[in-house]
Amino acid sequence: MTFELSELNVWAILLGGLLYMAFGALYYSPLLFGNTWVRANGLQDTYMNNPMLYVGAAIVAFASSFLIAVIVQVTGADDILSALGVGLSVGLLAALGLLKNTLFGMTTRKVFAIAIGDHLIAFTLLSILHVMWP
């Protein structure tokens, strides 16, 4: 298990950040889970108009892509099956943290389910990208 920062694919990390944002835009659009998520959180539709939300989401997307690239490199993941293992493991780790919040009433089960679906799919997509384009 070694890590070489210079061996990370910067273009894949950038594309991964864009992929994460594009997936999030679709996932949280009215076409899929956006309206349900807004209602389940008790938010107004205008809440989503705050540009700082998207700045934060972009930072999270690129940081996530970078960290998934590091995990793929450190674990030696080199095929689709190992990419699935990395993505699902990271997604399940995120799920555990959010589950604790859900158990203590900090969020609803509906919001939990929507968020975990997002994380599991997004982290798996990023893992596949970084395995296929090391």
Evaluate the CA torsion angle 63, 64, 68, 71 in order and state its sign: positive
**What secondary structure, in 3-state letters, does the chain show?**
CCCCHHHCCHHHHHHHHHHHHHHHHHHCCCCCCHHHHHHHCCCCHHHHHCHHHHHHHHHHHHHHHHHHHHHHHHHCCCCHHHHHHHHHHHHHHHHHHHHHHHHCCCCCHHHHHHHHHHHHHHHHHHHHHHHHCC
pLDDT tens profile 74-131: 999 999 999 999 999 999 999 999 999 999 999 999 999 999 999 999 999 999 999 9
Q: Cα 40 vs. chain centroid, distance in angstroms?
A: 20
Which domain does 22 fall in, by range? Answer: 5-132
pTM score > 0.85 for this model? yes
Write out pLDDT tens, residues 111-126. Answer: 999 999 999 999 999 9
Number of folded domains that form the chain: 1
